């Protein structure tokens, strides 16, 4: 059933990992182009604010994942979809940094050019001044450099706004439970020989305070995790690998 010509690839589900985003979620959910989307899954990762209630009120399906971490939340969202598999899953953050109305730009290369994964690049697009902190820019640059030299993969960003074929993603063996998730997906996609591309997307200052790149601890932890993910996967990953992840899940 996989392949650009075997279906219209019309079933699109959005997955939004969320930790305490009650203020931004209404804006995010309110600007997703619903004509292009069948379901929105908000994965509440133990929020102590009203994120889950706000999401449910606005018509999203709320999944609760107690194990903390960005990757944990994304994995929980994917697992939830097992019984109603979409053709395409779109990830975006819950902080209203991404521009959800740009979602159709991410779908087009999958539908029209048979791509498996489309990254929304904030570096090819327009990032509002101050939206990407210097440490985030530096970290991204280093990560995409490593993706190029270690994996031969050409990306300009590890952006959170991305579209991917769901069935393919489930075969990829994604395992990272924290902020290595985005880099892991791109590295595994390269190892598996996926057809990938990027489209320019816009990016603005988040609503509320950054929990990751806005703090020293968060930046160091996320940076270290991304680098470790890229090096370890290069050493352990299989070039052909559509198979399961060789390491612990
Ligand atoms: N699931 C999950 N998501 C998180 C966690 N921490 C932050 N996020 C989400 O990850 C996204 C990025 O976090 P953010 O604070 O904006 O970091 P920044 O983009 O580096 O400034 C947002 O949608 C957050 O809600 C966490 O521990 N678990
Ligand atoms: Mg953010």
Provide mean pLDDT across the span 162-181.
97
Decide: 22 in ligand 1 pocket, CB within 6 A. no
Under the banding of pLDDT at 50, 70 and 90, the label for residue 6 is: very low
Least confident of 3-17, 61-75, 97-111, 130-144: 3-17
Q: Please check whether residue 108 lies inside any domain of the structure.
A: yes
Ligand 1 centroid from CA 8, angstroms? 32
* 8-state DSSP, 66: -
Best mutation site among 92, 93, 203 for ligand 1 pocket (most ligand atoms within 8 Å of CB): 93
User: Distance (Å, rounded) from C-alpha 14 to C-alpha 239?
Assistant: 29
Decide: 37 in ligand 1 pocket, CB within 6 A. no
Ligand 1 centroid from CA 45, angstroms? 10
pLDDT of residue 249 exceeding 70, the answer is no
Q: Please check whether residue 246 lies inside any domain of the structure.
A: no
- Three-state secondary structure readout of 154-214: CCCCCCCCEEEEHHHHHHCCCCCCCCCHHHHHHHHHHHCCCCEEEEECCECCCCCCCCCCC
Under the banding of pLDDT at 50, 70 and 90, the label for residue 248 is: very low
User: Distance (Å, rounded) from C-alpha 226 to C-alpha 221?
Assistant: 9
Under the banding of pLDDT at 50, 70 and 90, the label for residue 238 is: low
80 three-state secondary structure = helix
pLDDT of residue 212 exceeding 90, the answer is no
Q: Please check whether residue 179 lies inside any domain of the structure.
A: yes
Domains contained in the chain, number: 1
Under the banding of pLDDT at 50, 70 and 90, the label for residue 233 is: very high
Q: Please check whether residue 241 lies inside any domain of the structure.
A: no
Q: Please check whether residue 6 lies inside any domain of the structure.
A: no
Structural contact between residues 73 and 143, judged by C-beta atoms closer than 8 angstroms: no
Q: What sign results for the dihedral spanned by CA atoms 22, 27, 32, 34?
A: positive
pLDDT tens-place string over residues 7-22: 589 999 999 999 999 9
Would strands 162-165 and 88-91 be described as parallel, antiparallel, or unpaired?
A: antiparallel
Q: Please check whether residue 114 lies inside any domain of the structure.
A: yes
Q: What is the CATH number of the domain that holds 229?
A: 3.90.550.10
Give the pLDDT score at 239: 52
- CA 18 to ligand 1: nearest atom: 25
Tell me the residues surrounding ligand 2 (ion) with CB < 5 Å: 95, 97, 206
Q: Please check whether residue 120 lies inside any domain of the structure.
A: yes
| Domain membership of residue 56 as a residue range | 12-236
| % of the chain at pLDDT higher than 70 | 92
Decide: 65 in ligand 1 pocket, CB within 6 A. no
Cα 179 from chain centroid (whole Å): 10
Give the pLDDT score at 214: 86
* 8-state DSSP, 150: H
Q: Please check whether residue 2 lies inside any domain of the structure.
A: no
Environment class of residue 153 by beta-carbon count within 10 Å: exposed (0-12), middle (13-18) or buried (19+)? middle
């Amino acid at each position: 059933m996989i392949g650009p010509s075997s279906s219209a690839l019309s079933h699109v589900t959005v997955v939004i990992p969320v930790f305490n985003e009650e203020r931004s979620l209404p804006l995010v959910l309110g600007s997703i182009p619903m004509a292009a989307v069948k379901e929105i899954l908000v994965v509440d990762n133990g929020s102590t604010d009203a994120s889950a209630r706000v999401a449910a009120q606005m018509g999203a399906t709320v999944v609760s994942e107690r194990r903390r971490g960005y990757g944990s939340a994304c994995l929980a969202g994917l697992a939830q979809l097992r019984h109603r598999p979409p053709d395409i899953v779109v990830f975006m953050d819950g902080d209203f940094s991404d521009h959800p109305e740009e979602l159709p730009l991410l779908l087009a290369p999958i539908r029209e050019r048979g791509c498996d994964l489309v990254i929304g690049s904030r570096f090819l697009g327009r990032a509002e001044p101050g939206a990407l902190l210097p440490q985030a820019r530096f970290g991204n640059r280093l990560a995409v450099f490593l993706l190029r030299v270690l994996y031969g993969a050409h990306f300009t960003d590890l952006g959170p706004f991305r579209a991917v074929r769901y069935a393919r993603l489930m075969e990829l063996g994604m395992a990272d439970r924290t902020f290595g998730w985005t880099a892991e997906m791109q590295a595994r996609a390269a190892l598996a020989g996926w057809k990938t591309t990027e489209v320019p997307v816009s990016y603005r200052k988040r609503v509320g305070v950054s929990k990751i790149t806005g703090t020293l601890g968060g930046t160091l932890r996320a940076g270290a995790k991304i680098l470790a993910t890229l090096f370890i996967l290069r050493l352990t990953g299989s070039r052909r690998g559509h198979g399961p992840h060789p390491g612990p899940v």
